Structure 1
């Protein structure tokens, strides 16, 4: 499905259409996109979701169900950066499932002026490391990061560590574990406080029920 709307500023979608192409939307700045199912077959499908929205400032993405079809290789970043994107909110994302982890890193890498990231996580034991291609970028404008429902596994901890070390303007990182049932969880949270921080003002806050 294609949408052509030159004066559109806000776009909210919840539904069963698998893929929407936004065309001629020069002033669209706020997108909330929550398809019930998304099928991506090739790199063009992946890139076109974002490359046609030049003024995108706030993007909320609900990955309720994603099918990557025959698509095996995800680009590390867009050909043209999302220079207007300031706020990124992602929910139902599985940071240790290869496709969704790569998808999240792809958007973050393509957005050099991000100021706020919120990720709500669903965890599966599949991937055990962040791709090396993510380690060569600095988030000079990132000020706030929130992780909700984390299980404090290796991939989540590595992403937290990378963002702390690569964000010189960071003011606050909020971490809300899904459960705090073991001493190991407390030990991991204590270890996070020792991670190197690019910002001397960065505060790490734990939300524990």
Structure 2
């Protein structure tokens, strides 16, 4: 089962006993490792690949629970539909199909008859379900990469998979409104562009990553212009959320509308918040994150990356921290904070000061500057950070080399830059600060 299909078939020459063993393989993988396609005539290469695949399928005996087809030389050709049709009676449970070429291959209607399907991985294809499609009643995980959906197909497809637990969407066009109606969904990872988000029915969803990596043309197109808070609308649909990663555009979407200091009800299960890109100089960004932190009494870990697109010394941002009123359960469980791309702007420093002063069980705050910052600047930031009052006697401030892996971090004394003659002086200074 661990061999490429060509090598598995060659085991037939070992002995009479081994002659037919490969024909019952439950896992058939046809990818660029399966065939050594020589460059040259594309049509000839495609014909050769298809002949080999047909030959394997015709000789195969028994069910094929796992099938993978990902061969660039095939492109989008009509023979693929015949292969998909052939597999409909093979009890497919895990199906991977990556289409290649200029156009996205439309999956044939026979694909929607895979009644035992449990895991689905599609890439670079077109998905349009027939009107008679009743759903995949056993499907538990789905991964879509650059899959083009016909109008309203995405929402309908997801809602017809009642056991779905894991959903990954990567750079898929025509999503529009990301509407999630999946009562058993536990994990959602989304990369791409959206217009709006609605967790219509997701009571068990506890792991959410929405990292919008592409800029919209006319960014405000996805924003609700009303006065209601998008953040409240989104998180009210996530009662079980434990891990939340908020990408740049998702943060912009969440920040639309006036963010309250606290949610109407606590987000009791949230333990980890990750924000890969945020601007400490933007009032709405900071207000949104603060509201999220203050409304999560069981928050244990916070990870941010400071991306300053605007003046981080804005007075209204600094006043946010002064106006925060802690409830009895705010910041009582926070243990670790990591802030990446930290350059020591006023709002960044004030944020760290706020966390140190209010987090009673905090163990460490790791501060990592962006690449290119000089050691003297870093040392100056560290001096200022270590003067802040700490509510936790265990709280440690660790200033991290820009290129250092977090797994290697021991203490602030061990973290220093390679400066040639200046290295010893910086080490000495770090020891005195620590």
Same fold? TM cut 0.5:
yes
1:20 is paired with a residue whose SS is strand
Residue 343 of structure 2 corresponds to residue 169 of structure 1:
no
Matches of 1:40 and 1:95 in 2, distance apart?
22
- What is the aligned partner in structure 2 of residue 26 from structure 1? 203
Task: Work out which of the residue numbers 176, 180, 183 in structure 1 matches 2:373.
Answer: 180
Matches of 1:154 and 1:142 in 2, distance apart?
23
- What is the aligned partner in structure 2 of residue 61 from structure 1? 246
- Shift in Å, 1:40: 3.5
Matches of 1:204 and 1:10 in 2, distance apart?
33
Cα deviations by residue, 1:60-84 (Å, 9 ceiling, x for unpaired):
011147656xx56322221111110
Q: 1:163 to 1:207 in 2, by over 3 A?
A: same
Cα deviations by residue, 1:96-154 (Å, 9 ceiling, x for unpaired):
11121112112112211100000011012152414133253541000000000011011
- Shift in Å, 1:207: 0.6
Task: Work out which of the residue numbers 154, 176, 179 in structure 1 matches 2:346.
Answer: 154
- Shift in Å, 1:191: 2.1
Q: Which runs of 5+ in 2 are unaligned?
A: 1-176, 217-221, 403-434
Q: 1:182 to 1:206 in 2, by over 3 A?
A: closer
2:341 is paired with a residue whose SS is strand
Task: Work out which of the residue numbers 89, 94, 100 in structure 1 matches 2:285.
Answer: 100
Query: What is the alpha-carbon root mean square deviation over aligned residues?
Result: 2.2
Q: Where do 1:11-50 residues align within 5 Å?
A: 11-35=188-212, 36=214, 38-41=222-225, 42-50=227-235
Residue 379 of structure 2 corresponds to residue 195 of structure 1:
no
- Shift in Å, 1:52: 1.0
Matches of 1:47 and 1:65 in 2, distance apart?
13
- What is the aligned partner in structure 1 of residue 311 from structure 2? 125
Cα deviations by residue, 1:25-77 (Å, 9 ceiling, x for unpaired):
11110000123455243324331111111000000011147656xx5632222
Task: Work out which of the residue numbers 239, 243, 262 in structure 2 matches 1:77.
Answer: 262
Q: Which runs of 5+ in 1 are unaligned?
A: none
- Shift in Å, 1:190: 1.1
Task: Work out which of the residue numbers 123, 131, 134 in structure 1 matches 2:324.
Answer: 134
Larger relative helix fraction: 2
Which has more radius of gyration? 2
- What is the aligned partner in structure 2 of residue 145 from structure 1? 337
Matches of 2:185 and 2:241 in 1, distance apart?
11
Q: Count residues in correspondence.
A: 208
Which TM-score applies when normalising by structure 2?
0.45
Higher relative CO (CA 8 A, sep ≥ 6), structure 1 or 2?
Answer: 1
Larger relative strand fraction: 1
Which TM-score applies when normalising by structure 1?
0.90
Q: 1:93 to 1:72 in 2, by over 3 A?
A: same
Matches of 1:156 and 1:3 in 2, distance apart?
35
Task: Work out which of the residue numbers 379, 399, 409 in structure 2 matches 1:206.
Answer: 399
Matches of 2:373 and 2:243 in 1, distance apart?
32
